[in-house]
Amino acid sequence: MLTVTDLAAGYGPVRALDGVSFTAERGRVTAVLGANGAGKTTLLRTISGLHRAERGSVDLDGQRLDRVAAERMPALGLAHVPEGRGVITELTVEENLRLGALGRAGKVDGSDLERVYGLFPVLADRRAATAHVLSGGERQMLVVGRALMARPTTLLLDEPSLGLAPRIVAQIFELLRGLVESESLTVLLVEQNARSALSIAHRGVVLNLGRVVADDDADALAADDQLRHAYLGF
């Protein structure tokens, strides 16, 4: 379980997060929603140690994460997939996957790769191809697969749906939900696409100007007309 308590962070005079508290449970997808500039990316970057918290704490299964350097996070079970599908296009699909195991304890063995290929068969078909031939959806699968190579307990995903066709988004979200339930992962899913995110999330946290304005079951958020119109854009 990931517990965020009274987290504050910013950029000079800009308050990007201002006292954010919530929990994300194991075996659950927790969506983090809100308009542009609400603080979603800053939240993920602060949890994973890329941005410094000014106040508050982050706790993962009983371990304090705030003040832990970003490069130690994989060993503690946390994987962060930033926005933008940063695959290394000159390397093959399999080489990209192997990079995901850097920094974790233990050697890569065939079972790690087979697990990812089992989840994303399209990557297995293209394991020897250079990543530049992959479509946007396949690249998104590759960055998620690469994160799983670290055997995380907790996955932070920033805008995985950006720029993808609705059919591909639905496919990736379905895979994600199955993965979370079968492996009991904790997933924090940042999305602008609130409607799609709530269709697969169990819980949702809505941010506005760096503060939590709603925190509830996904179904309850999706059924709240006022909240949807004010903050979720659908």
Residues that bind ligand ATP (CB under 6 A): 11, 14, 16, 34, 36-42, 192
**Interstrand relation of 28-33 and 203-208 (parallel, antiparallel or unpaired):** parallel
Q: Which is nearer to ligand ATP, 38 or 172 (CB)?
A: 38
Q: What φ, ψ does residue 155 adopt, rounded to 5°? A: -125, 125
Q: Which is nearer to ligand ATP, 127 or 211 (CB)?
A: 211
User: Cβ of residue 11: shortest distance to ligand ATP, in angstroms?
Assistant: 3
Q: Which is nearer to ligand ATP, 35 or 76 (CB)?
A: 35
Q: Which is nearer to ligand ATP, 134 or 212 (CB)?
A: 212
User: Cβ of residue 41: shortest distance to ligand ATP, in angstroms?
Assistant: 3
Check residue 212 and report its DSSP letter.
E
Q: Which is nearer to ligand ATP, 134 or 189 (CB)?
A: 189
Q: Which is nearer to ligand ATP, 113 or 207 (CB)?
A: 207
C-alpha angle with apex 71: 70 to 74, nearest 5 degrees? 95
CA distance 96 to 102: 11
Q: Which is nearer to ligand ATP, 41 or 96 (CB)?
A: 41
User: Cβ of residue 125: shortest distance to ligand ATP, in angstroms?
Assistant: 33
CA distance 3 to 215: 13
CA distance 197 to 142: 20
User: Cβ of residue 119: shortest distance to ligand ATP, in angstroms?
Assistant: 27
User: Cβ of residue 81: shortest distance to ligand ATP, in angstroms?
Assistant: 14
User: Cβ of residue 180: shortest distance to ligand ATP, in angstroms?
Assistant: 22
User: Cβ of residue 141: shortest distance to ligand ATP, in angstroms?
Assistant: 22
Distances, alpha carbon 69 to alpha carbons 86, 114, 234, in Å: 21, 30, 38
Q: Quickly list DSSP for 92-140.
A: BHHHHHHHTTTTSSS---HHHHHHHHHH-HHHHHTTTSBGGG--HHHHH
Name, in order, each residue with C-beta under 8 angstroms of 206's C-beta and a sequence gap of 6 or more.
33, 34, 212, 213, 214, 215, 221, 227, 231, 232
Nearest to 48 by CA among 123, 155, 133, 142: 155
The H-or-E segment that residue 154 falls in is strand 154-158
